[in-house]
Structure 1
Amino acid sequence: MTINPNDFRNGAVAVRQGSLLGHINELIDHFPVAAEHRKALRSLGSDFVYARRSPIPSDRDSWIVLIRFGAVIEQRFGITREVLGYYSRHRDLQQRTYQNLPNLTTMTLNPPTPDLFLLWSPDPMVSVRLDDWSTKSAHVAIALPKMGHSDAASEIWHSLLRRLTQTNTYKQTLPVTGRDFFGRIRPLRELADHLTAGRVSGVFGLRKTGKTSLVKEFGRRVAETTEVRQIFVLRDLETLPSNTEEQVANLLDDIRVNLLTELRSKGLRTHELVQLPSSPTVAEFRRAIHILLSHIARQEVNVVLALDEIESLVGPATEWNANRPQAVELLGALRALVQENANFNVLVSGLTSSILEEGELFGRENPFFAWATTLFLPPLTKTESMEILVHLGRRMAVTWSEDAASEVAELADGHVFLLRTLAAQMVESLPADLTLREVTTDVLTHTRRQWRRSVAGQVHQMMASIARYYPTENDVLDLIQTSPFEIDTLEELYPNEINHLIQLGLVAEDHNGLRLTALSAFDSRHSRN
């Protein structure tokens, strides 16, 4: 298919030449193929708006450009910023070059799109490599045409079309941040308020509800705060050793290494951490951190330590009869550091809130009992759910009928896992033809049963964790599922357990009273014990 420039004339980019033209000419001197790329882009209503030699000292032979797409392409794919292009001389393109592309977005005057890149390399396998790497990562890189291509504009257009329509943006299993993060305004605001007030927070919820995404997005926003320099350290406790006797030592070492990295990147003091012995006791670690915090406080530097998947460290309350003094000592040390240092705070997150609600931990007084503010991740609102569907769909050239988006949001009932998996299933049934990429209620009708079968096992596993970490609530939920008309009576008998089920998004309260949510109703036919 030959590109007709008239198709892209509406909203075409008009670039002021000035000094930019000199930089573009210098780029073309180093990479003559860039002249063909610019001509092709202008046929697509787009153009280079920035061109500079790579700012990385070890990569000075490469060049960075920013491409502003015209309104036709921007609207079709939901692109709202410039897209970074990268010109490399490497004839054997390495994956580390691809992996480093997101880091280059911080080196331009205006931050470009963080997850879409165009790349040229003389490597004959560049297209194959980029396609392979892009299917396994959170960002997509598309190869620019080789020198002398007979129709470079058509190649760029169809490469964009092929890659972006094949990338299912709803199928995201990793935590999301930045422009991929939607909604959750209230919990983000609450976390920010708690941090400002010096209060420790605990974020809790079921698996696959977006806890880690919320924590990472909060950390991203904290790190970008300009009023005070902030250091945000996130440690995923799921990777702790299975041997509980090794967990605390492993965690202390990880916190030390992560803090050292952050402090060095900001040119801050590291003496106390460097001088720590290789396997410090909890007491030695606390003293070193305390002295360090007192020094960096003079430079108005705050530190936030986030411990995700806290149950991996403490386990369920039913196992708290074990003797694990080091775990209790570590939590006590963190509490002491928060109380003694105004520039230090802790955030914990996970499935079980018992770490903040039970008075005893491993046969000792629980240092975190009734100390931190508990925040359960609320379900998405219908508006937030529809926003996810529409905005993520636009990046794949997918549009939604209002009825379809509304019905899918209602079926998901605020649960992000149900929402994303259903949307992903529906989009996979759409053709690549841009004129046929609308999600309608008919698409929902044809994919709904297949979707339920495909996610039933995962939902069952999500619900199984309730039995381990909330055993009494699990029993109450069983009673509700078998006798839904007695839910009001159960609330009188088990008010605390019903409250937990509401907080976990398994029971909802509306103008008609209490009811099962889509997630707990989904699993009601399965045994969860």
Structure 2
Amino acid sequence: MTSRGVDSTQSDLNSRREDFFARFSKARDLDLALRTAENLTPLFFLVTDVNHVDLRNVGFAICRLGKDRERQFLINGEVAAFFAPWKDFQRRSFNVMTNGLSALSDSAQTAVGQTNVRFTPSSKIVLLITDDPDAQAKIDEWQSSSASPTTVITVQISETDSKKTLQNLLMQLRSSLGERDLYKTQNPVTGDDFFGRHLMLKEAAAAILSDQNIAILGLRRSGKTSVLRELKRQLLAKQVIFTLGDFQALEEDSISSLATSIAKNLIDDLRIAREYGHNVWIGDHKEQKIDEITPPELSDRIKRSAARNSSIRFVIAVDEIESAARFARSNPAQIRSLLGALRAAAQACENVSLAFSGVANRMFRSSTLGTGDDQVDNPMFGQVNSMYITAFHLEETRRLLKKLGRPMFLDWTTEAVSDVQQATGGMPYFVRNLASVTREIVSRGRVDEFDVYTIQSTDVATALNKWRSTAGSDWNALVDAMELHYPEAANLLDPALTESEVNQWIKSDTATQDAAEDLTSLGLLEEVSGRYVRTGALRAMQALQRRPSTVGPTSDFAAPNTELGLLQRIETGESHTFELKESFRINTRTRTKDKEMETEVARTVASLLNSAGGTLAVGVHDSGEIKGLSADLKLYGNDLDPFERWILGDLLGRRIDSNAISQLVEITWLKVRGALVAVFEVQSSGTPVWLDDEKLFVRIGNQTRELKGRDLAGFLASR
């Protein structure tokens, strides 16, 4: 472009900015507040009228906060800013800003003639400048029930003091992004929240691009699903469509349920790739309409999409491979049908490959599926390159702690990081939980939350006792999950065994030798001079298992998610904050599925959320008799993973609120007197929580009651 052309472009931008500032004077004030020597034009791509029925007279701009602020709050790139000259900001406008941000940004950039380079504003936050004095209070309420990852924050503009405007913005960022516990998460993470695994991602991407089939294998809660989703996110730019399925769709004993789910996800991913800018063929309305299809029909769809999009690579990834192994024990022909269909598509098309994930198992080592006379050939035998998820090394732990701590104004000394690494062995789930407990403890004593607090070794030491009370149960649950489908490996993790006994056992048979190799790949064992020894990660976890309870007869109760703590509470009986239920699904009297049992559990969790919080134990009769959950668990092939997903997703997430469940409810699996019990620890919600979007329950004494009429109105007014 000539110098004159550059001058003309800059002149057009300046002209648009002046027109916009004349219409929205607060935009000029915000622009001045954010302006630095490195950020000379904070607001750009300005549109004076957003083309949407719920955003009439609203101005739109893309805004740069500046590198230091973006780094502080983990904001990747630009953010969207809306200027709404309204006295009464409405919920429907909030919904558009949080759920339709990408489309709004795209249309705004088209409106100003931007076609060559597109800016995608961060999905983390949206800035709102409005004349409604109650806007932030409304948004806080709406945000709590929103499923969108986007947080809307209002910015108070000072027309006379740019520094005050900037301070107001930073305070809102701190309040909205910094006060949340970023360490704690029970859901898969991607993007800015994804840490470590860089070498694994690089190797997995290289394998996929070279037409290999891969498997990501690791313990439960080790981040397998996060790795798949991060691969999906990163590879889209390289013209790779990464379609995810889940073997837990096999719960209803129909292989077509998973085939149909994968086909629908493939159509959605093709649409996303088109929106991203890739030239892809999706097909006509008939091609996109999917009812129920068989595995061979799924294979044909994949082949057809691959043939019509020869420049695109397709990856069909299926999570939770152990569910397929479990299902294959009783229905090997159906699993062979699905795996055979996927392999046929991958073999027929050079631009199709497969990916799997699950707990380390022998699924791809065995040439057959099923047992006894029902065995059939395994189509994926010898066809998969396995990659194993191991514990974080010290540098990965340091990066996670320090980067996620930044928006919360937390830093860590080198010694404190080392203490976390030593206590957790670098196991990511445990690293996050210990960091979360430490954050909670140090936050109580902070005077100025805007000053960076540096966490010391003494802070970690204080947090360790509280963290250990739950971490041991968490590790036991992981070992129990492995024992369900890979007992040879779980047996080798028994802390009661000496290393000599472990080695003697490994030498005893081939199956245990294979298990030792898998545990070595997972970083729990290592071979030294021909002998297997425990790694630092495993020693750290087993130290949690060996830790005895110190609760005496005159001391406080142990934690409710420990066997001793639960038994103590059972002995005292149900209360305002403690409730017992026999089961989730199976009526213990009729021995059949009973929807009322499910509703009772959901109703109790909702009531605790709306009250002072508390504990719900499922698998215990209200008389105190430990019943266990064997009947419920049998519905899921004795596999805890799909059972827990159904509980947190279908039973609670959909009927109550997925955000409230993920943030305020924790589930722990306990062996109590030999029986499996689920313990829910429920925090009180700051906003009303509804059951099925129509009923509101609270705890009154040791009873769960539905609020109606005046009682309901009074409760809502109080919240």
- TM range, smaller chain: 0.7 to 0.9
Trace 1:68-467 onto structure 2 (pairs within 5 A).
Answer: 68-69=64-65, 73=69, 76-77=72-73, 81-88=77-84, 91-94=89-92, 95-101=95-101, 109-132=118-141, 138-145=149-156, 152-225=165-238, 229-238=239-248, 240=249, 242-245=251-254, 248-264=255-271, 265=274, 266-270=279-283, 274=287, 278-297=291-310, 300-312=311-323, 314-316=324-326, 320-362=328-370, 363-428=375-440, 429-430=442-443, 431=446, 432-435=448-451, 437-467=453-483
Q: Is the 8 A contact 2:246 2:258 kept in 1?
A: no
Structure possessing the higher relative contact order (Cα contacts under 8 Å, 6 or more residues apart): 1
Report how far residue 393 of structure 1 moved: 1.2
CA offsets per residue over residues 285-307 of structure 1, 9 Å max, x none?
3234334422322xx12211111
How far did 1:272 drift?
10
Deviation at 1:378, TM superposition (A): 2.3
User: What RMSD over aligned residues (CA atoms) do the two structures have, in Å?
Assistant: 3.5
User: What is the Cα deviation at residue 457 of structure 1?
Assistant: 3.4
Distance 1:189 1:461, change over 3 A: same
Change (3 A) 1:372 1:67: same
- Counterpart in the other structure of 2:42: 48
Within 5 Å, give how 1:4-43 maps onto structure 2. Answer: 19-41=12-34
Question: Could you tell me which of 499, 502, 507 is aligned with 2:517?
Answer: 499
Cα distance, 1:132–1:171 mapped onto 2, change above 3 Å: farther
CA contact (8 A) 1:53 1:60 kept: no
Q: Which amino acid aligns with 1:53?
A: V
Cα distance, 1:126 vs structure 2: 2.7
Q: Percent identity?
A: 24
Please list the CA deviations of residues 83-141 of structure 1 after superposition, one character each: whole Å capped at 9, or x if unmatched.
Answer: 43233467303334223346667767455554233223455543124434556764433
CA deviation map 1:120-167 (0-9, x unaligned): 345554312443455676443321126879954442232223233302
**Bigger CA radius of gyration:** 2
Cα gap change, 1:196/1:435 in structure 2, threshold over 3 Å: closer, same or farther?
closer
Q: Kindly provide the amino acid, as one letter, of the partner of residue 293 in structure 1.
A: A
Q: Report the Cα distance in structure 1 between the residues aligned to 2:201 and 2:438, rounded to whole angstroms.
A: 30
Match in the other structure for 1:13: none
CA displacement, residues 164-205 of structure 1 (integer Å, 9 cap, x when unaligned): 330222123222222222221221122122212211111111
**Higher deviation after alignment, 430-439 or 359-368:** 430-439
Q: Which moved more, 1:170-179 or 1:20-29?
A: 20-29
Gap change, CA 1:438 and 1:111, over 3 Å in 2 = farther
* 1:489 aligned residue: 504
Change (3 A) 1:76 1:458: same
**1:244 corresponds to which letter in structure 2?**
D
Find the residue that maps to 2:313 and give its secondary structure: strand
From the superposition, tell whether residues 446 and 102 of structure 1 become closer, same or farther in structure 2 (CA, over 3 Å).
farther
- How big is the shift at 1:439? 0.9
Structure 2 spans left out of the alignment, 5+ residues: 1-8, 110-116, 548-562, 564-669, 675-719
Structure 1: state its 5+ residue gaps: 1-15
Retained in 2: the 8 A contact 1:171–1:420?
yes
User: What residue number does 1:518 align with?
Assistant: 540
- How far did residue 383 of structure 1 move? 1.1
- Structure 2 vs 1, CA of residues 442 and 231 (structure 1 numbering), >3 Å: closer, same or farther? same
Deviation at 1:324, TM superposition (A): 4.7
SS in 2 for 1:453: helix
Q: Give the secondary structure class of the aligned counterpart of 1:321.
A: helix
Residue identity opposite 1:523 in structure 2: Q
Specify the alignment match of 1:64 in structure 2.
60
The CA distance in 1 between the partners of 2:183 and 2:478, in whole Å, is 19
- Partners of 1:437 and 1:416 in 2: how far apart? 23
Partner SS, residue 318 of structure 2 = strand
Residues 305 and 129 of structure 1: CA distance in aligned 2, closer, same or farther (over 3 Å) = farther
